[in-house]
Structure 1
Amino acid sequence: MQKLVFTGSNDLNSSLFTTDEIIAEFSGNSRDSVTKLIRTYKSDLKEFGKLGFQIRPMPSGQKAKVFHLNQQQATLLITYLDNTEPVRWFKKELVRQFYEMQAELTARRLERSKSKQIRLSMTDAIRQMGFSPHFYKHFTDLVYKKALGFNAKQLREARNVEPTATPLDFLSIEEQAAINQIEILTTGLITLGRSYDEIKLILNTGVVFYRTNLNTPIAVH
């Protein structure tokens, strides 16, 4: 099925949108007629948020403006189109894809919220057991390396995000779940008084874990 809905990035805080190009192609209308509708009803569309756009270079050397419409804007705009059979199919499919992608983002945000609570628990355990503050990074990298095969810095580089970005904001639900699983185990070992080296050894021997190469789904080994 053709993808109709997009996100600006893999960041779980990014917004969903479709474009005037997609609306034109799958509603059976010319792009000129769709962009004309957008400009005609711009004030209506702006009632549902900022009307985004992207400037895209064309092979001719010229630049084209591609409009980005959120779910409410897109839903409103297609009500202004003739209710032909292609338009009716497009309306149903667009609504379905917006719903599915929003549900996925919501699930990722819920998993992220769980991650924050788990992370607080590990932070408290590190402090309570008398580890120096720099061990927080060591344990974090250990968890990421064990769960996904990459430390936090490598994850940022692989996802092409800012050095200060939180890697968890760019992970899939499965990847976040893998991180959470290993972090809970690590927190338990810390509270049992195990040293960093002991915990590293335990994690590296005989523990069921998830690993990914960032391009394929996580698999159990």
Structure 2
Amino acid sequence: MDLVFLESLKVDEVPFTTSEVIADRAEVEHRAVRQLIRKYEDDLNEFGKTTFEMSKITKGRGRKSKIYHLNEEQATLLITYLDNTEPVRQFKKELVKQFFAMKQEQLSRQMLRGVGKPLRKNLTDAIKEAGFSHHFYKHFTNLCYKSAIGFNASQVRKVRDIKRGKNILDYLTKKEQEAIYKREQQIATLIELGLDYEQIKSVLNDGGIIYQTTLKMPQISY
């Protein structure tokens, strides 16, 4: 069971768990966990402002309730206020492992983004120096994404709800970033060798996709 989440795939999102997860895995009532959060809210707020979402009502029944989002420090502190039962001890260990794994993934992505920025500049410079017109920047970007992870940049932006003006690369997983950066280097090299867009597209299509990511594209009704 996933215990730790991100609001989005943005590279600097803060991992969190929820009061609902804590209640389920610690085997206590969700109502009791919410009461505990309210009781010690001042303590928790020392590690960031507590936030919440409202639960959904299924089949028109019941009442909405608050589901709190807690960062690592808040969750760790809250658990210390619970009785140290066997389910609580097991949950503590797994929660620590998942927070650590999520932070390591985020850190790897941040470091990779730092490496990738000059690579992106190299591709941009290569396109410019080869004399391609301005609209080819978009063509090469979509070619890069499509041949690297199986979807073009517009599709990734739509499915992951990335707003205009936000950098798509900030919302890619580590493996997706690695595939994009590898393809950018290859395209820059092919441009420097004097190949035109169609020739580069043909070469990349023959090579196949580097890392086929999974995106659930919205269905189109006719």
TM-score band, normalised by shorter chain: 0.7 to 0.9
SS at match of 2:16: strand
Aligned partners of 1:204 and 1:124: how far apart in 2?
23
Question: What is the count of residue pairs matched by the alignment?
Answer: 214
RMSD value, Cα: 2.0
Aligned partners of 1:148 and 1:4: how far apart in 2?
27
> After alignment, is 153-162 or 173-182 more displaced?
153-162
Aligned partners of 2:89 and 2:115: how far apart in 1?
39
- Aligned residue identity for 2:210: Y
Aligned partner of 1:175 in structure 2 is 176
Alpha-carbon shift at residue 99 of structure 1 (Å): 0.4
Matches within 5 A, 1:84-103: 84-103=85-104
Q: Does structure 2 retain, via aligned residues, the 8 Å contact 1:125–1:187?
A: yes
The structure that is strand-richer by fraction is 1
* Consecutive aligned runs of 4 or more in structure 1 exceeding 4 Å deviation: none
Aligned partners of 2:186 and 2:15: how far apart in 1?
35
Aligned partner of 1:8 in structure 2 is 7
Instruction: Normalising by structure 1, report the TM-score.
Output: 0.87
Alpha-carbon shift at residue 163 of structure 1 (Å): 4.6
Cα gap change, 1:144 to 1:50, in 2 (>3 Å): same
Verify: 1:162 aligned to 2:151, yes or no. Answer: no
Q: Deviations over 1:18-38 (max 9, x none)?
A: 111111221232222211111
Q: Does structure 1 retain, via aligned residues, the 8 Å contact 2:147–2:208?
A: no
Consecutive unaligned residues in structure 2, runs of 5 or more: 217-222
Instruction: Normalising by structure 2, report the TM-score.
Output: 0.87
Consecutive unaligned residues in structure 1, runs of 5 or more: 217-221
SS at match of 1:131: coil
Alpha-carbon shift at residue 132 of structure 1 (Å): 2.3
Q: Does structure 2 retain, via aligned residues, the 8 Å contact 1:145–1:151?
A: yes
Aligned partners of 2:83 and 2:175: how far apart in 1?
42
Aligned partner of 1:126 in structure 2 is 127
Matches within 5 A, 1:41-190: 41-59=40-58, 60-190=61-191
Aligned partner of 2:203 in structure 1 is 202
Q: Does structure 2 retain, via aligned residues, the 8 Å contact 1:21–1:66?
A: yes
Identical columns (%): 47
Aligned partner of 2:26 in structure 1 is 27
